[in-house]
Amino acid sequence: MKKLIIMMSAAIVLAACGPKQAKVPAIDLTNFDTSVSPGDDFYQYATGGWQKKNPLKPEYARFGTFDQLSETNVERLNDLFAGMTTMKTEKGTVEQKISDLYKQGLDSVKLNQDGAAPLKDILDRVYSIKDKSGLVELVADMHNSGQGGFFGAYVGSDMVDSDSQILYFGQGGLGIGDRDYYVKPENAALKEGYRAFLEKVFALAGNPEPKKASMNALAVEDVLADNSWDSIKERDVEAQYNVYSSETLQKSFPGFDWNAYLTRRGIPEQKKLVVGEPDFFEKFGVYFANEDLSILKDYLAARVISGAASSLSDDFYAASFDFFSTQMSGIKEQKPRWKRAMQVPNGILGQAVGKMYVEKYFPASSKEKMETLVDNLKIAFSQHIDELDWMGDETKAKAHEKLDNFIVKIGYPDEWKDYSTLDIDPENSYYENILAARKWSVADNLSKLGKPTDRTEWGMSPQTVNAYYNPSTNEICFPAAILQPPFFNPDADDAVNYGGIGVVIGHEMSHGFDDQGRLFDSKGNMSGWWTADDDAKFKAKAKILAEQFDAVEVLPAKDGQPALMANGQLSLGENIGDHGGLSIAYTAMHNAIAGKDPGLIDGFTPDQRFYLSYATIWAQNITDQEKARRTRQDVHSLAVNRVNVSVKNFQSFFDAFGIKEGDPMWRPESERVHIW
């Protein structure tokens, strides 16, 4: 099963929030498209000017305010890395590891000289396997090195005993990522594009029969996809909690030697582990036992080559880019090499980079401001719980208890991750060093098995413009980089800040009470703290919200293919987060301005500025291919829907902009929903 950490956005980008910069206008009037009425299309009205000023760059499938923040500041981080390359660094220091990884990523001459050579040893091993026993050992070794294949396994908090760390197994092994790409006829062209990609990289790796190998690999993935749960079923957290031991694992899913696998991974004899999708593993065991060895070897070779492609020579990278970026997302141009090179050490040594970043760009005053905002949002959320007309007193008491026990993480961790045991050797190839880092990360995760949960651990680096809620620890986390315009602006009025960062805070708090997060109590344990009546009322309200998004057409029918509709059930948790975030932040904003008379600013009332600020954080341009990909795979709704569909549940929005019955942005009161 998948680790359940719920994020504000899928975007992972970098930014800076430190040294005093030029004042940023609270509301940039040039972001508007005044040719459109707010009652016709509020998203276009509030962000149409921004879209025009920021046409989609060819290296992006989606470019929005997140990416805009990133553009300038990745250059800052790149300057930091580049500075390290000119200094004498001592072996074993984080500076040495960062600079050597960065330099290797920049060295196109060496990468192109090496070609497929870094893959030789592991591919030789794949094709030298003589029997299924050897294949089981290979799968275990690949998983220990962070390479995918057939399924996944990781250590995480026990969902019913959050103080303990246990082993989880989950379906996996799909190169395109989602089962629907394999099983739905409308995705046939993309599926063939993926097969062609595999054929190309098999040929580059020296396989004598690349077409046959690609077809064999795809045949295995077809079987895995046929047996996989779909993305909606995967959201059923309770259904994914199925307890086994090492002994019952082997008895329940014969055909694959689970005992040998666990022993090879160094974690034998588990008294308790969880299998996310039992029927997938049952069918996988039968398939693995009966499939031809040569076909399974081609599949594992494909996983190795595909996973390495972005770390090899230009021809490998180009093949990967052509399929995963251009065909799937509509990106027309590769990012410059320095950007790609910078991303690797930033990802591998995220907290080491974060420590440097915070020291330079994150003042203590920013953390203090964020703490105040979080406290204000908690007060507003508590008010909302008290005022709910659909929830009984017993459940309300438990909801208050959960809210009161949120662990709040702001800026950066109190203790930084220790990377001293990670070895980055400049004498090894770029791919070998990346593989060593993956192996180190996996070992770091497995080392937690059987130990108490570390509730101080961070799931994001400080330089990430994002936020998350983790139900297993009941924590909300706001990394340093999110406290900046357009999310938070120290020069802006309360309405703008509560419409931006306030909604972000409320969004993460609401994740603790969405369709998944609400199943966990104040300590992060999955427990039935809802009365049956309140549970039924919540589900009825959530169903209305899901149906609101289901009704939205993302892309029209074209070339014989049906129209693509939004998936309200897949995105339900995030939509509840947005819905709750807007509702709670609006109350917090009015609490903040109570007794004051802010009046009109730029000709807009506080309520108008609140909703305009919210729309601003979702301003973006996006390709049709990326719209389709995200609609099928992403639990986050598209930006336009996060605005236009969400705001139509609030009378305060209609009142602010004079929206009335008959306007496209109007929603009758009988069709609105109020959850949190």
Q: What is the per-residue pLDDT for 484?
A: 82
Which residues are CB-neighbours of 377 under 8 A, at least 6 positions away?
502, 505, 506, 509, 584, 585, 588
Q: Domain tally for the chain?
A: 3
- 296 lies in the same domain as 378: no
- 47 lies in the same domain as 193: no
Segment 89-107, tens digit of pLDDT? 899 999 999 999 999 999 9
Average pLDDT over residues 560-565: 89
Examine the pLDDT at 621 and tell me if it is beyond 90: yes
Please count the other Cβ atoms lying within 10 Å of the Cβ belonging to residue 538: 21
Range with lowest mean pLDDT among 8-17, 425-434, 494-503, 518-527: 8-17
Rounded to the nearest 10°, the torsion over CA 433, 437, 442, 447 is 120
Whether residue 127 is contained in a domain is answered as yes
How far apart, in whole angstroms, are the C-alpha atoms of residue 145 and residue 429? Answer: 16
Q: What is the per-residue pLDDT for 10?
A: 37
Examine the pLDDT at 83 and tell me if it is beyond 90: no
- 486 lies in the same domain as 594: yes
126 touches 249 (CB < 8 A): no
Examine the pLDDT at 35 and tell me if it is beyond 80: yes
Q: What is the CATH number of the domain that holds 666?
A: 3.40.390.10
Q: What residues does 58 pair with on adjacent strands? A: none
- 395 lies in the same domain as 256: no
Tokens found for residue 555 = 């892309």
Range with lowest mean pLDDT among 178-182, 356-360, 493-497: 356-360
Give the DSSP letter string of 127-140: HH--SHHHHHHHHH
Examine the pLDDT at 643 and tell me if it is beyond 70: yes
Segment 115-131, tens digit of pLDDT? 999 999 999 999 999 99
Strands (E) in 85-244, as ranges, are 151-158, 161-171, 243-244
- 374 lies in the same domain as 445: no
- pLDDT-above-90 percentage for the chain: 86
- 301 lies in the same domain as 325: no
| 3-class SS letters over 272-322 | CEEECCHHHHHHHHHHHHHCCHHHHHHHHHHHHHHHHHHHCCHHHHHHHHH
- 291 lies in the same domain as 182: yes
Segment 190-221, tens digit of pLDDT? 999 999 999 999 999 999 999 999 999 999 99
Whether residue 612 is contained in a domain is answered as yes
Letter for the amino acid at 489?
N
Tokens found for residue 132 = 């299924």
451, 478, 504 - which closes a domain: 451
How far apart, in whole angstroms, are the C-alpha atoms of residue 611 and residue 88? Answer: 51
How far apart, in whole angstroms, are the C-alpha atoms of residue 329 and residue 630? Answer: 9
Examine the pLDDT at 16 and tell me if it is beyond 50: no
- 195 lies in the same domain as 135: yes
Taking alpha carbons only, the member of 655, 631, 653 closest to residue 644 is 653
Q: Residue 94 belongs to what domain range?
A: 61-115+312-359+416-451
Q: Beta strand 273-275 with 468-470: parallel, antiparallel or unpaired?
A: unpaired
- 468 lies in the same domain as 559: yes
98 touches 81 (CB < 8 A): yes
Whether residue 676 is contained in a domain is answered as no
Examine the pLDDT at 579 and tell me if it is beyond 60: yes
- 541 lies in the same domain as 428: no
Examine the pLDDT at 568 and tell me if it is beyond 60: yes
Whether residue 1 is contained in a domain is answered as no
Examine the pLDDT at 12 and tell me if it is beyond 50: no
Q: What is the per-residue pLDDT for 3?
A: 57
Examine the pLDDT at 362 and tell me if it is beyond 90: no
Q: What is the per-residue pLDDT for 67?
A: 83
Examine the pLDDT at 332 and tell me if it is beyond 90: yes
Examine the pLDDT at 230 and tell me if it is beyond 60: yes
Q: What is the per-residue pLDDT for 5?
A: 63
Q: What is the per-residue pLDDT for 18?
A: 43
Examine the pLDDT at 15 and tell me if it is beyond 50: no
How far apart, in whole angstroms, are the C-alpha atoms of residue 445 and residue 441? Answer: 6
Q: What is the CATH number of the domain that holds 447?
A: 1.10.1380.10
Whether residue 541 is contained in a domain is answered as yes
- 127 lies in the same domain as 86: no
pLDDT band at 6 (very low <50, low <70, confident <90, very high): low
- 79 lies in the same domain as 199: no
Segment 512-561, tens digit of pLDDT? 999 999 999 999 999 989 999 999 999 999 999 999 999 999 999 988 88
Segment 59-69, tens digit of pLDDT? 999 999 878 77
Examine the pLDDT at 13 and tell me if it is beyond 50: no
Whether residue 263 is contained in a domain is answered as yes
Please tell me which of 22-36, 477-491, 607-621 the model is most confident about, judged by mean pLDDT: 607-621
